[in-house]
Amino acid sequence: MTREHAVAESTALTGVQERVWDSFRRWGYLQANLDPLGDLEPLPVPELEARGADAEAARRVYCGTIGVEFMFIPERERRLWVQERMEADSRQPDRGRVLDLLVRAEVFEQVLQTRYLGTKRYSLEGEAALLPLLDSILSAAAEQGATKGMLAMSHRGRLNVMVQIVGRSAAEVFARFEDVDPRSTMGGGDVKYHMGATGNFHAANGQDLSIHLVSNASHLEAVDPVLMGRTRAKQMRRGESGRKQVVAIAMHGDAAFAGQGICAETLNLCGVPGFTIGGSFHIIVNNLIGFTTVPRDSVSSRFSSDLAKRLAIPIFHVNAEDADAVVRVGRIAVEYRYAFDSPVVIDLIGYRRHGHSEVDDPTITHPLRYRKIEAHPPMWQIYSEKIGADVEPMVRGVREELDAAQREAQEIEKRPLMRRLPRYWGDFKGGKYDASYEVDTAAPAETIAAIGESLVTYPHGFHIHPKVKKLLEQRLEMARGKRPIDFAMAEALAFGSLLLQGVPVRLSGQDSRRGTFNQRHAALIDTETEEEFVPLEHMAPDQAWCEIYNSPLSEAAVLGYEYGFSRDFPEALVLWEAQFGDFANGAQIIIDQFIAASEDKWNLLSGIVLLLPHGYEGQGPEHSSARVERFLQLAARDNIQICQPSTAAQYFHLLRRQAMRMWRKPLVVFTPKSMLRHPAASSQLAAFTSARFQTIISDGADGSAERVLLCTGKIGHELEAERKRRQNDSTAIIFLDQLYPFPEAELAAAMDRHTNAREFVWVQEEPGNMGAREFMIPRLERLARGRVVLSVNRSESASPSTGSSKAHDMEQKTLLTLAFGI
Ligand SMILES: Cc1ncc(C[n+]2csc(CCOP(=O)(O)OP(=O)(O)O)c2C)c(N)n1
């Protein structure tokens, strides 16, 4: 039956027949034959008890080896689309190609098993159909205009995918089992089944797709948003046709997909304009087990894929042992994605032939299932019997090929599987900081004035909010040097000047367009129409692109996404803003596993900027601290930059420095809240038109001070005010605007200039077990050359701050009193 035929027929169905078909369309997947081992039993569904020709026909379509969930999609057009595809005859795939991949998948694992017994490889056996599925998706995508596939997956089957899909040679992968010279990776690097890889995939139509398999952290699913952000960046680089050209395929474990919240967060990005990539493919490599835990204990519903039902996207369950069906589903998924710009989920249900890894014995926990698995033939055998192919010569051929590759592996150089970074990374550097990277970040006064004009310009007839109008008028005065420049204006000037220089800017965060503290106003809103206008997008015809988005209320997925974006747009200033820095720990995995460690593990750089509002202002334990201490603990070998600019001009230079230096390192910025508009933190125009970012700001350099207070951020301004109040002229204050890389030489010189000083006092708002104290004290002791080093801080505490604003005020007063030595 052709599709047209089916549709024509279905329009002629009677009401009763229509109801029968409808029941199967809606519930058929619950009785589909999805599990090769038969453990996933059909669910009794009264609606499917109908008998008769229509019921039988519908049962054949919807209760075979494909079960599809799509009737919950609100758009009728989409439901009909899936229905038509399902009810049409399927075309037979290239079975020779499918068999070849099935054989390659399993023989590859067997060769690894015999040659490297006792090593973990996370075999794909039992899910070998993943390869024909990927082949089907990539081949169909090539027909639709795709030129690049971005893949992300965890451990299971990764080595296999690297060879059969990414196109790396088996010898290269084997070489990693031969182990490397340990001196080349001491303290760094990563295990072989997490490394990224690039290569080429030969699609069935003869076209080559470039493939990139994203480097993976062990933390399951954390790579998902990174994949999406990277895909968006690569799409943007290709312009209009980018979405057509670059497709993302995320592979998930069944236990991980159900359990890890980041999957939900990432899926939720798919339709949001600032984050969409025109639909991603999500394959659940579903072996119905996670380590030793069966679905009963890892998911509260029947399918691990149920999470995806929060979105209006189709979910295809398919029995991995019916490779023809698997290939068909892959093709339908691609056509759906290209028709509707929508993600698609494919739940590939198979089994896991060995233990979690090959050194793990699964019969201890699941003796019955594993007895069944042991007696179960491999997929290629089942498929070759089904299609009547003489497979033995093929198996022999592949084995000989792999044996030769294994011999070659002992000889070849152990290079990373990334051929080389894309050309756009050519000019950028990682590694240790070098002063030669510094650039002049000042902007001419005319440029500042011109940006100021642009920032306050909006279309004729635009109804501006009176409060915003006033703010814009003030901004114009700031740009003309008639009033000190505050933090928000400094940021707009940094963005504006970079855009005019051709540096793109992308910022996302919760409520970032207006700004949590009503400070940014990146988008002006017409009070009559709610139309939006972003002045930074309209400064000059040849300016770079500017994207400032309100993000969904997620930290992990959004930061992961922006980190991913920064990986493929090194020339752009890419920023993620936390609503309050306190919430950044919702993205701790991304910070620990990617931002802090990716250069060390994978030699991959990023210039991502984290804007983390920080400061003790009596707003309670979760609106005070961005956890300075955590970032400092992550800092080593110049892997990240940790800064707290104390003035607006410092912020301006810091942002410009980040984009203009060729050194690409993540930058963590503790940004102000109450200081946003505070005169003490505002700067004169001259500080923008000259100078650059200063790692420390030191006063009292005449050497007369007896006591030197060292601090970072807001408390420094409070110390200055207190000093003034006390008319104290024997105390100097040094602000550390950069905590890491630690500005040792500058600080040592500043401290040495205080020849009369007897005490150096580290002053922080945070409790003693938090903040920069533990990082600073040993360093200050070294630089103090025998003079006394003290610290003033809140008492050690389990939570960052008090919940009482009055108690906060008292504590703050005490800090200031102690700082001045009473
Ligand atoms: C966030 C996180 N928690 C725990 C682990 C440890 N771990 C590694 S694999 C695994 C089981 C994963 O099961 P599943 O997602 O079904 O994938 P499979 O290994 O079966 O392919 C676990 C718990 C981890 N890597 N990451």
Secondary structure of 50-67 as H, E, C letters: CCCHHHHHHHHHHCCCEE
Overall average pLDDT of the 765-774 stretch: 98
C-alpha triplet 302, 307, 311: angle, nearest 5° = 130
Query: Is 238's pLDDT higher than 60?
Result: yes
Distance 259 CA to ligand 1 centre (A): 10
Kindly report the protein residue whose alpha carbon is nearest to atom 22 of ligand 1: 291
Query: Is 582's pLDDT higher than 70?
Result: yes
Query: Is 439's pLDDT higher than 80?
Result: yes
Query: Is 757's pLDDT higher than 50?
Result: yes
pLDDT at 96: 97
- Whether 287 lines ligand 1, by a CB cut-off of 6 Å, is yes
- Ligand 1 nearest-atom number relative to CA 286: 16
Distance 157 CA to ligand 1 centre (A): 13
- Whether 221 lines ligand 1, by a CB cut-off of 6 Å, is no
Query: Is 181's pLDDT higher than 80?
Result: no
Listed residue (200, 182, 265, 278) closest to 235, CA to CA: 278
pLDDT at 223: 98
Q: pLDDT digit string (tens) for 663-721? A: 999 999 999 999 999 999 999 999 999 989 999 999 866 778 999 999 999 999 999 99
Distance 294 CA to ligand 1 centre (A): 12
- Whether 157 lines ligand 1, by a CB cut-off of 6 Å, is no
Listed residue (595, 592, 589) closest to 575, CA to CA: 595
- Ligand 1 nearest-atom number relative to CA 220: 26
- In this prediction the pTM is 0.96
Residue showing tokens 């389990």: 798
Two tokens, residue 525 = 């809103």
- Ligand 1 nearest-atom number relative to CA 257: 15
DSSP string, 439-456: ------HHHHHHHHHHHT
Distance 155 CA to ligand 1 centre (A): 9
> Cα-Cα-Cα-Cα dihedral of 21, 25, 28, 30, to 10°?
-150
In this predicted model, which residue has the larger pLDDT, 779 or 90? 779
DSSP string, 257-276: HHH-HHHHHHHTTTTSTTT-
Overall average pLDDT of the 108-123 stretch: 88
Query: Is 465's pLDDT higher than 50?
Result: yes
Q: Sign of the C-alpha dihedral, residues 632, 638, 640, 642?
A: positive
pLDDT at 1: 44
pLDDT at 187: 60
As a whole number of angstroms, the longest Cα–Cα distance in the chain is 100
Distance CA 170, CA 185 (A): 22
Distance CA 794, CA 811 (A): 7
Residues above pLDDT 70, as percent of the chain? 96
pLDDT at 504: 98
pLDDT at 230: 98
Q: Which of the listed residues 109, 130, 158, 220 should we mutate to test ligand 1's pocket, taking the one with most ligand atoms within 8 A of CB?
A: 220
- Whether 256 lines ligand 1, by a CB cut-off of 6 Å, is yes
pLDDT at 821: 86
- Tally the residues of the chain: 822
CA distances from 605 to 105, 213, 596, 597 (A): 33, 16, 10, 10
Q: Residue 674: which H helix or E strand, with range?
A: none
Two tokens, residue 466 = 């009176």
CB 563 within 8 A of CB 594: yes
Kindly report the protein residue whose alpha carbon is nearest to atom 9 of ligand 1: 291
Kindly report the protein residue whose alpha carbon is nearest to atom 17 of ligand 1: 253
Q: Which of the listed residues 303, 356, 589 should we mutate to test ligand 1's pocket, taking the one with most ligand atoms within 8 A of CB?
A: 356
Work out the mean pLDDT of the chain and round it to a whole number. Answer: 94
Kindly report the protein residue whose alpha carbon is nearest to atom 23 of ligand 1: 291
Residues whose CB falls within 8 Å of the CB of residue 744, separated by 6 or more in sequence, listed in order = 779, 783
pLDDT at 457: 96
- Ligand 1 nearest-atom number relative to CA 298: 16
DSSP label at 306? G
Distance CA 327, CA 338 (A): 17
Residues whose CB falls within 8 Å of the CB of residue 482, separated by 6 or more in sequence, listed in order = none
Rg over CA atoms, the chain: 30
Q: pLDDT digit string (tens) for 378-422? A: 999 999 999 999 999 999 999 999 999 988 888 776 555 555 788
- Whether 194 lines ligand 1, by a CB cut-off of 6 Å, is no
Residues above pLDDT 90, as percent of the chain? 90
Q: For residue 756, how many other CB atoms are within 10 A of its CB? A: 14
Query: Is 257's pLDDT higher than 70?
Result: yes
Query: Is 10's pLDDT higher than 70?
Result: no
Listed residue (623, 78, 659) closest to 332, CA to CA: 78
- Whether 354 lines ligand 1, by a CB cut-off of 6 Å, is no
Segment among 140-144, 536-540, 606-610, 755-759 with least mean pLDDT: 755-759
- Whether 253 lines ligand 1, by a CB cut-off of 6 Å, is yes
pLDDT at 700: 67
Distance 780 CA to ligand 1 centre (A): 43
Distance 252 CA to ligand 1 centre (A): 10
pLDDT at 2: 45
pLDDT tier at 118 (50, 70, 90 boundaries)? confident
- Whether 291 lines ligand 1, by a CB cut-off of 6 Å, is yes
pLDDT at 4: 46
Q: pLDDT digit string (tens) for 124-167? A: 999 999 999 999 999 999 999 999 999 999 999 999 999 999 99
